[in-house]
Each structure stands twice: as structure tokens, then as C-alpha cells.
Amino acid sequence: MPLFQYKAKRFDGKTITGVVELEDELTLIDRLHQKKAVLISVKELENNQAIPKARPLEKLQKKLKEIFSRVTHSEILLFTHQLTAMFGAGVPLSRCFESLNRDLKNKKLQDIVSDINRDIESGDDLSEALAKHPHVFNKLYVNMVHAGEASGTLSLILSQLAFYLQNTMHIRGKLKAALTYPLVLISFALLITLGMLIFIIPQFSQMYSRLNTSLPLPTRIMMNISTSIQHGYLFYVIIFFGLWLFLCILLQTNRGQFLWDKMKLRIPIFGTLIFKGIFIQFSRTLSILLKSGLPIIQSIKIVSESISNTYIEKKIEACSLKIQRGATISEAFSESKIFPELMIQMISSGEESGTLSSMLAKIADFYQEQIDTAVATLSSLIEPIMIVVIGLIVGSMAISIFLPIFKMGGAIH
């Protein structure tokens, strides 16, 4: 859709300006009329460029500001909860944002809330004001608020948004807990191994070199590895950081990100957990969007953009095209080969009975219970498994070090 830069005057005499994405000028005039404003001038922007491009230095400053003054998911959740409570109690939006701004601790979020309040006082809808801060309020958030404004159920939509954000944080926390613990244990095992190779084995190597005796093969292998790390550590550091830099650059490309997202889903055990987390996010989001009155095609498009996996995003976009051509949701998802049969059958049942939204919510609840159970089971199994693995690594190194001593002891007897 084209972008329009407009200037208008409200009935109270205040002049308002802005940039909106709409079908045509008539739609813009209708939108302004609903805001009790009259269009003064309008310009269609070419190449969808709303604002002149920032200079490189300005871009760098903006990027650094985003990195060092980030708005966390928990802060957005708290902001949504507070806004829901105040707006639900009948407090006007402008006063809601004034009150919220005084309570916020994050300076960046304070500035954003001030900007939103200023835009609302200038005549913008809440969704339009939120859309100007896409790094904090994503398309899902903005579209749900817009649907609430259009249907007159903004208070209910904000409540659903808070519920959705809370569930999303819960799932992310579960997945992080499942993935972080084994990574910490693996890192610990690697540090122990590296410490032994650098500090302990060289001591034994010096002792054995004075004996002028042939060493067992495992001991020689361990000694060679230790010597290689001691004298060629710079080479290994360069290789490590070179690979790290290569992966960082690769993940910045669309193709690289796509392949990484696809590979993550194939990791044993953890790939299944990631898949189920995506099923929960997909079902919960689509359920809330349909409840808010958005059309199915638009809802699926928003859902695909809200999922942080480009491989699944492409699959859902392909499903959306099939639905536009006349396929049912269950048929399109069945052909994608990524959604489980149980989920497809429940969606099909929801379509036939006209209860798709509630059925999607049940799917989300079902997979959330599965993730909770799987993470609890995994956490209880990982610790003893990793302890055994660490024991085998340390034990094998210890045996290889002491083998010559055992050999000499046997020869004496």
C-alpha cells in the first residue's frame, strides 16, 4: 500500500501531521474525519520512504542507543498490564500514559511513552502511535490494538495482549531453562579438560621425559594434545574467533538465518521442544487475533511475522497463499508437512464447528502442558547424564596419565 504524508486541522483548531499507509486518499480523508479533522494537504511518498534517510553517524548513534537502552519483554508486559488496568477503569488514554511515564524506570521506554502520548494528543489513534516504535511494539501488538479500536473492544484486547505476552514469556523461560543447563555443564566439562591439558599433564610429561621409557599410546596422544595447545594456542584462538566471526556474518544473511533456523529444529530432543514452542505461539496468537475480529488471511500473515524462525515463517506464508486460493486452513497446514496430525485434526474440527478460535486456544494449552512436562523430565535426566559424561572425560584423562606408573609398578612386581 502507498504511504501518504499529510497535514490536517482538527475541529478544535489544532494542526496535526503524520505519515500513514493506506489504500488511497479517500481512505485517509475518512480516517481523518473519524478523528474530527479536515485534510489540508497530502503527498504520496515514493518508494515507500516516509522520512529522508538518516546519515551514517545518526544510524550508528541510533543503533548504539538501541543496544545499550533496550526495552525487555518483562518491561513491555508490565507496561501492558498497567495500561490494561488503568484503561479498563475508565481512565482516558492520555492520562494513562502520563501516569505510566512517571512510574517507568527504563529511560528509553519513558521517552517512547512520552512520544506516544504526544502523538495521541495530536490526534493519532493508539495503534498509529505504537506503530512508530516497531523495535518495541511489533506488528502483532499494533494490529491487535488496531482491531480493538475498530471494534470498540480495546480494553478486552489489551487484556488478551497481556495474557499472550505472559504466556510467551513463560514458554521462552521454559525453553531457555531446558537449553541453558546442558550448555553450562558442557562448558564446565570443557574448562576442566582444558585446565588439565594446560596445567596438569605438562607436569607429568616432564616427569616421564626423564624416565627414558616408552609410553602407552593413550598417554602419548594426551601428551601430544597438551603440547599442541601449549605451543599453538594462538593458532587455536585465531581459528575460534575466525569461525565465530564467520558464523555471525553468515547469520546476518537471509540464507544463513534460514539454514540455521531449519537446523535448530533437527537437533535431537531440543528441536522437538523448539517445535512445540512454535506451535504454542502460533496457536495462541492466531486464536487471539481471530477473537479480536481480524480476517483469517491477515491474521495468519501477522502470525508468520511474529514467529522468530524464518523456516517456519516461510512455511506459514505458503499456507496463507493456499488459503487465499480456496483451501481450508487444515488442508493448507496438512500439505506443509510441519504441523502434527493432532493439531491439524483439531483445527479441522474447529473449522467445521465454527469454534476455530477456542480450538486454537486448546491446542496452545495442550502443547504448553507437554513442554512443561518435557522440560521437567529433561532437567531431571540431564544432570546425572552430564555428570557421567564429565566423569568419563576426566577419568579417561586420569587413566592415560597414570598408565605409565601402573605399567612400571607391574614390571617391578
Range of the domain at 130: 71-137
The confidence score (pLDDT) of residue 362 equals 92
Q: What is the pLDDT of residue 359?
A: 93
**What average pLDDT does this structure show over 396-402?**
84
Whether 327 is covered by a domain: the verdict is: yes
Q: Do residues 42 and 77 share a domain? A: no
Distance of CA 256 to the CA centre of its chain: 17
For the stretch 320-334, pLDDT in tens is: 889 888 888 899 988
Same domain, 296 and 356: yes
Whether residue 269 is contained in a domain is answered as: no
User: Among 118, 137, 156, which residue terminates a domain?
Assistant: 137
pLDDT at 410: 58
Q: Which ranges constitute the DSSP H helices of 152-295?
A: 154-195, 201-209, 217-231, 233-251, 254-264, 270-291
As a dihedral over the C-alpha atoms of residue 265, residue 266, residue 267, residue 272, rounded to 10 degrees, the angle is 60
Task: Work out the pLDDT band at 66, boundaries 50, 70, 90.
Answer: low
Closest CA to 277 of 302, 242, 312: 312
CATH of the domain at 301: 1.20.81.30
Please, which residues bridge with residue 365 across strands? none
pLDDT range class, residue 57, cuts 50, 70, 90 = very low
Q: Span 372-381, mean pLDDT?
A: 79
State the Cα–Cα distance between residues 183 and 267, nearest whole angstrom: 14
pLDDT band at 46 (very low <50, low <70, confident <90, very high): low
- Give the percent of the chain with pLDDT over 70: 91
Quote the pLDDT of residue 22.
Answer: 75
- Average pLDDT along the chain: 81
Q: Tally the domains of the chain.
A: 3
Q: Considering 121, 137, 153, which residue would you say is the last residue of a domain?
A: 137
More confident residue, 181 or 219: 219
Calpha distance 369→102 (Å, rounded): 38
40 and 97 in a single domain? The answer is: no
Q: Are 316 and 303 in contact (CB under 8 A)?
A: yes
In this model, does residue 127 exceed pLDDT 60? yes
More confident residue, 315 or 24: 315
Is residue 333 one of the residues assigned to a domain? yes
| Boundary (domain end) residue, out of 86, 119, 137 | 137
Whether residues 286 and 359 fall in one domain: yes
Cα-trace Rg, the chain = 29
More confident residue, 206 or 259: 259
Q: Residue 88 falls within a domain, yes or no?
A: yes
Residue 382 has pLDDT above 60, yes or no: yes
**Cα–Cα distance for residue pair 195/192, rounded to 1 Å:** 5
Give the per-residue pLDDT at 363.
Answer: 92
Residues in the chain: 413
Q: What digits encode the pLDDT tens for the residues 162-216? A: 888 888 888 778 777 777 777 887 888 888 888 888 888 888 888 887 777 778 8
Residues 302, 334: Cα–Cα separation, whole Å: 20
The percent of residues in the chain predicted with pLDDT above 90, rounded, is: 4
Per-residue confidence (pLDDT) for residue 349, from 0 to 100: 92
The whole-angstrom separation of Cα 266 and Cα 264 is 5
Q: Are residues 86 and 38 in the same domain?
A: no
The pLDDT tens digits for 284-343 are 888 888 887 778 888 888 888 778 788 988 898 888 889 888 888 899 988 888 888 989
Residue-wise burial string across 15-38, b where 16 or more C-beta atoms lie within 10 A, e elsewhere? ebebebebeeeeebbebbeebebe
Residues 358 and 294 in one domain: yes
Q: Is 171 within the bounds of a domain? A: no
Structural domain contains residue 188: no
Domain assignment of residue 231, yes or no: no
29/42 Cα distance (integer angstroms): 10
Do residue 310 and residue 359 come from a single domain?
yes
Indicate if 98 and 36 belong to the same structural domain: no
How much is the pTM? 0.65
3-state SS, residue 123: coil
Q: What is the dihedral of CA 248, 251, 252, 257, to 10 degrees?
A: -170
Tell me if 113 is assigned to some domain. Answer: yes
Predicted local confidence at residue 346, as pLDDT: 92
